[in-house]
C-alpha cells in the first residue's frame, strides 16, 4: 500500500515554510513555527488525527504572528490536497465531538474538493496563547480553502485554552477519519471526481 506523503516548501518575503505530511502516519509530530502556542495546537491536531507532521516556519514575528499562522495554513492545506490526490478510496466525510474539561468542540468535514468554513465560537479574551482570537478562524479558513475541505466547526466553554485545543483536536480527528482509506475503490462522489 502506497504511503500518502508530501513535502512542500514555500518562501516569501514574510515566511519560509517546509512541511512534510504523511496521512498514513502514527502521530509523529515535530513543529517549530516560532509561536509556542501555535506549535502546541498543530501538534495536538496532527497527533490525534494520526498524521506524521514535520513543520518548520521562519516568519516575520517582529511584525506579528498573522503571516506565520496564515501561511502555515496555506502550505498545510496544499499538502493535504496533494496527499489526497484524486481522492480515490478515502472515506471523504467524518465528524468529531471532543470535550476538554468544561469546553466542547464539534467538527464535521467533507473532503470533497470544495473549500468552505462555517466557524461558530469565540474566545473570552483578545488573544489565546499570544495569538489574536480571530487569527484561528483565519487559519482554518485558509487551510480549508487550500485543501478543498468543507468544515463546520463549533466550540464553547469558559477557558480559552481549552476551547482552542478542543477545536484543533476535533479538526484533526475528523480529518483523520475523512482521509482514512475506506476499503472501497474509486472516488467517493456521484460526479466521479472530487
pLDDT tens string 65-93: 999 999 999 999 999 999 999 998 999 99
Question: How much is the pTM?
Answer: 0.96
CATH at residue 21: 3.30.230.40
Would 149 be classed as within a structural domain?
yes
- Length reported for the chain: 194
Q: Is the pLDDT of residue 180 over 80?
A: yes
Would 111 be classed as within a structural domain?
yes
Predicted local confidence at residue 1, as pLDDT: 54
Distance CA 173, CA 180 (A): 11
Q: In Å, how far from its chain's centre is CA 159?
A: 21
Q: Residue 188: which pLDDT band, with cuts at 50, 70 and 90?
A: confident
Which structural domain, as residue segments, surrounds residue 67? 5-179
What's the structural domain count of the chain?
Answer: 1
pLDDT tens string 93-125: 999 999 999 999 999 999 999 999 999 999 999
pLDDT tens string 5-37: 999 999 999 999 999 999 999 999 999 999 999
Would 189 be classed as within a structural domain?
no
Amino acid at each position: 500500500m502506497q504511503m500518502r506523503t508530501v513535502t512542500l516548501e514555500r518562501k516569501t518575503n514574510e515566511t519560509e515554510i517546509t512541511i512534510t505530511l504523511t496521512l498514513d502516519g502514527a502521530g509523529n509530530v515535530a513543529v517549530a513555527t516560532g509561536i509556542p502556542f501555535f506549535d502546541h495546537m498543530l501538534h495536538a491536531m496532527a497527533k490525534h488525527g494520526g498524521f506524521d507532521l514535520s513543520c518548520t516556519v521562519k516568519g516575520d514575528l517582529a511584525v506579528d504572528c498573522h503571516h506565520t499562522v496564515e501561511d502555515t495554513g496555506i502550505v498545510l492545506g496544499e499538502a493535504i490536497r496533494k496527499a489526497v490526490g484524486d481522492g480515490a478510496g478515502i472515506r471523504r466525510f467524518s465528524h468529531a465531538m471532543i470535550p476538554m474539561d468544561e469546553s466542547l468542540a464539534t467538527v464535521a468535514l467533507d473532503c470533497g474538493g470544495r473549500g468552505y468554513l462555517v466557524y461558530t465560537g469565540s474566545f473570552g479574551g483578545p488573544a489565546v496563547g499570544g495569538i489574536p482570537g480571530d487569527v484561528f478562524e483565519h487559519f482554518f479558513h485558509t487551510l480549508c480553502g487550500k485543501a478543498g475541505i468543507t468544515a463546520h466547526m463549533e466550540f464553547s466553554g469558559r477557558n480559552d485554552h481549552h476551547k482552542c485545543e478542543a477545536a484543533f483536536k476535533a479538526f484533526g480527528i475528523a480529518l483523520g477519519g475523512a482521509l482514512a482509506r475506506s476499503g472501497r475503490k474509486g472516488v467517493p462522489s456521484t460526479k466521479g471526481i472530487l
